[in-house]
Amino acid sequence: MSSTPNSSRLLKLAAIAAVYCAVVYLVPRPETVKPEGWRLLGIFCATIAGLILEPVPQGALVLAGVTASALLGGLTPAQALSGYADPPVWLLLSAFFISRALIDTGLARRMALVFIRLFGRNSLGVSYALGLTDMVLAAFIPSNGARSGGVVLPIVRSISELYGSTPGPTANILGRFLVLSVYQSVCITSAMFYTGQASNPLAAEIGTKFGGQPVTWTSWAIAGIVPGLASLLLVPLVIQWIYPPTVRQTPEAAGFAREELEKMGRPVWAEKVVGLVFGSVCLVWLTYNWHGVDITITALTGVIALLLTGALSWEQIRSEKAGWALFIWYGGLTQLGKSLATTGIPTEFAKAVGGLLGDLTWEPVFAVTLLVYYYAHYGFASITAHLLAMYPAFLAVLAAKGAPVGLMVYAFACFANLAAGLTNYGTTPAPLFFGLEYVSMRTWWVTGAVISVMNILIWSTLGFAWWHLLGIW
């Protein structure tokens, strides 16, 4: 790649600078907000614009924002960099390291093949098997791109080709159905767990501040399991009805899984260790309310156990590029969001929007904002950018209206992930699945629109009722 900036990159950088200038110099500053706080808002908005436009990698953009927050936003260097000491940042990094061991040892693939062998005797069963695989991995692997691209997607392609289904005229034999249903399942599993997607812990941290009650791995898993399983069950059925595959019975898929498992042989030492660590960490996370051991310390302990047993090498730690890139942008965004919350700007925003909404109660405001929030994802290629741009603002507006904060926190956090199913660029795995060329763009978008209605209905009825039963609201 040439080191000389091209015109497209320069235009995007100019647009980011324009966003900063427009916020700081054109938008009236409330008297209750200090000038440095207003400049911090400009930096935050420019950073979000950068995540959308992406003229350079996300980590570089966020690092620039962190630096600017010390130069212009009134933060000391220690304050600007303190996000990198946040436990959730290290939790995600640790999860990436353990996920690397899961993938590199072959344990994740073995789990997928076992599910295929058990449930893959028909096309719907194959879809369910791969969806269940991603659900299990989502309980620990915080990158939906890593788990679906590294484990699930190769199996989708292999089974499709097993039945002569390739991009083009034969796509509807099996491949089109599997690509659509499995991708939508990935979006659902991303919404089901604290570790389902990289920005979920950020949503949990923001939500915890609003609600006063910690949003933990356990509480998120319990909240997401009922509506999540309902969506995982019904979504493939609907897609099969809209775009039925020519091949319905797939005994060869189960045979394929059996043969692949035979080739892999019995689990080796490293797989057994990784499986034991994976299961133990999940168990300790699930029982957090009983013992109170911090989930980040639990994850770090798991990493140390893998290193000491040799199931994970230091070289693998060093080469985990995706994890370290996430550490840079996530840690920086964490601090920018925290610092912005102390400026008084969210309060002023809530007051302004509340004044525009007049005497409306929280219920209609919630319904409208949730729909706007969901379908606004057509304009985002990143769940993180979508979340940061709209989640805190809508929480502030609804909290000012007296809405139950727990309901708001989980609804907006989960819907950000579900909305990624709308387009072929909604989250990291989308281009990977779409790039197989089994599905046209029109079909992809139509499917996304249909499934969006279905997910909204499931999560806003069964999901909200389940959360009420749990005492979340």
The secondary structure of 43-85 as a DSSP string is HHHHHHHHHHH-SS-HHHHHHHHHHHHHHTSS--HHHHHGGGG
> For residue 5, what pLDDT is reported?
67
Phi/psi at 202 (5° precision): -65, -45
pLDDT value of residue 159? 86
pLDDT per residue rounded down to tens, the chain (473 residues): 455 668 889 999 999 999 999 999 999 998 888 999 999 999 988 988 888 788 988 889 989 999 999 999 999 999 999 989 888 788 878 878 887 888 888 888 888 888 888 888 899 999 999 999 999 888 878 778 778 876 788 888 888 888 889 998 999 999 999 999 999 999 999 999 998 988 898 899 888 888 777 898 999 999 999 999 999 999 999 999 999 999 888 888 888 888 989 999 999 999 999 999 988 988 888 787 788 888 889 889 999 999 999 999 999 999 988 789 878 887 888 788 778 878 877 767 766 766 676 678 899 989 988 998 899 888 777 788 788 878 888 888 888 888 999 999 999 999 999 999 998 878 888 888 888 889 998 999 999 999 999 999 999 999 999 999 999 99
Q: Which are the contacts of 288, defined by CB distance < 8 A and separation ≥ 6? A: 216, 217, 218, 295
Q: What is the pLDDT of residue 408?
A: 94
pLDDT given at position 255: 86
Q: Which percentage of the chain shows pLDDT scores above 70?
A: 97
Amino acid present at 178: L
Give the gyration radius of the chain's Cα atoms.
23
- How far separated are the first and last CA of the chain, in Å rounded? 51
Spatial separation of the C-alpha atoms in residues 326 and 89, rounded to whole Å: 9
Residues 124 and 178: beta-carbon distance below 8 Å: no
Give CA–CA dist 95/143, Å, rounded.
Answer: 9
What pLDDT sits at residue 441? 87
